Chains A and B, each alone.
Chain A
Amino acid sequence: MHRKILILAIFFIMSVLFGCASKKTELDQLFEKNFKGFEMPEVRWIKEGVSRSFPYVTFDEVWDATILVLMQRGAIVRSSKNTGRIVAITRPPIVIFVERGEVVTVYLNCMKHLYRRVDKPEEVIVQFKPNAAKIIAEDFFDKLATQVYAKKKWKWLKR
């Protein structure tokens, strides 16, 4: 009888321990290190995401607006005006590339891979719908357009 109880107790403790095993993600690790050593994704990878062009405005205007919109969506953890890249911890974390040119183009890609478990990289703890990146990007670009063109569109009224 005592043996049975002991086996049951061991089984119970083991299941509790394994059940509560930490599911630490890459993002958890980055938070623990205060994002030290975190490197921004390559431009080529960012360009595989969703893009939108912003005509009749300068790079600086789009860049400033990008910061204002992003900081309202999460903490910005990397920013380089020089390379045109910026990373914000939203859900999921996103990276933006603002491309200089006659027409400024903004690219957005989602860093869903940061939800991979550290001990089991093949397992992702937060799943997103296949079209999540597109939905997130469309919403972001709409807000960015509002911010960029807010003072532009009605310029003619001042005359």
Chain B
Amino acid sequence: MCISKPYFLIIVIFLIVIGCSPNIPKSNYPLQMKRSFHASFDNTWNAVLETVKKSEGTIITEDKSSGLIVYSFTDRKSKSQVYMNVYLKNYPTTNITEVYLIPWVKTNYSGYYLERGYYLEIDRDFFTLLEKILGGE
């Protein structure tokens, strides 16, 4: 079986293009787990701390200059330990503060420790409470 010249050329060009295609990093960014609040950074920061308190959470780290609060709590249903990364992005000119939330759940798999899981429920509970606290001010 013989391949005609034009087809042969197309195959060669196709292989070169595929072979030379750049290695583009896979990314899920930009992050979608966020809500915007019409509130100042300070008010939102205090409301997040209040949310942690009401959820009976323990602060692991907080860095106001970065807008980061990380806390943990025990999920009542699953009895799992949940770690909440909360990041506040400040937009002072518009008086809007964006709140990003990424929860992690402690596992028992040796060496892995944390996995992303059932965060829709955690996400809903967190933002419901935060909205309530912010709205009550």
Among B82-106, those with CB < 8 Å from A are 83, 85, 87, 89, 100, 102, 104, 106
Q: How far, in Å, is A23 (CB) from chain B's closest CB?
A: 8
Chain A residues in 8 Å Cβ range of B104:
74-75
Residues in B whose Cβ lies below 8 Å from that of A34? 58, 60, 72
Complex contacts, A71 vs chain B, CB 8 Å = 85, 87, 100, 102
Q: Size class of A's contact patch?
A: 20 to 34
Annotate B18-60 by CB proximity to A: 1 below 8 A, 0 otherwise. 0000000101111100000000000000000000000000101
B interface, by DSSP: helix, strand, loop or mixed?
strand
Among candidates B66, B81, B111, residue contacting A91 with C-beta atoms closer than 8 Å: B111
Q: Which applies to chain A's interface (DSSP): helix, strand, loop or mixed?
A: mixed
B31 partner residues in chain A, CB cutoff 8 A? 68, 72
CA distance A85 to B22 in the complex (A): 32
A91 to B104, CA, bound (A): 13
Chain B's closest residue to A88 (CB) is B85
Instruction: Name A80's contact: one of B60, B63, B72, B111 (CB within 8 Å).
Output: B63
Inter-subunit contact A27/B113 (CB<8 Å): yes
Other A-B contacts than A71-B100, A72-B28, A74-B114, 17 sampled, CB-CB below 8 A, are A31-B106, A34-B60, A69-B29, A71-B87, A71-B102, A72-B31, A72-B102, A74-B104, A75-B85, A75-B114, A76-B61, A81-B66, A89-B114, A143-B27, A143-B29, A146-B25, A147-B29
User: Which B residues are within 8 Å of any A CB, using their own CB?
Assistant: 25, 27-31, 58, 60-61, 63, 65-68, 70, 72, 81, 83, 85, 87, 89, 100, 102, 104, 106, 110-114
25 pairs from A and B in contact (CB 8 Å cutoff): A31-B81, A31-B113, A34-B58, A67-B67, A68-B29, A68-B87, A69-B29, A74-B104, A75-B70, A75-B114, A76-B68, A76-B70, A78-B61, A79-B61, A79-B68, A79-B70, A89-B83, A90-B114, A91-B112, A91-B113, A126-B111, A142-B25, A143-B29, A145-B25, A150-B30
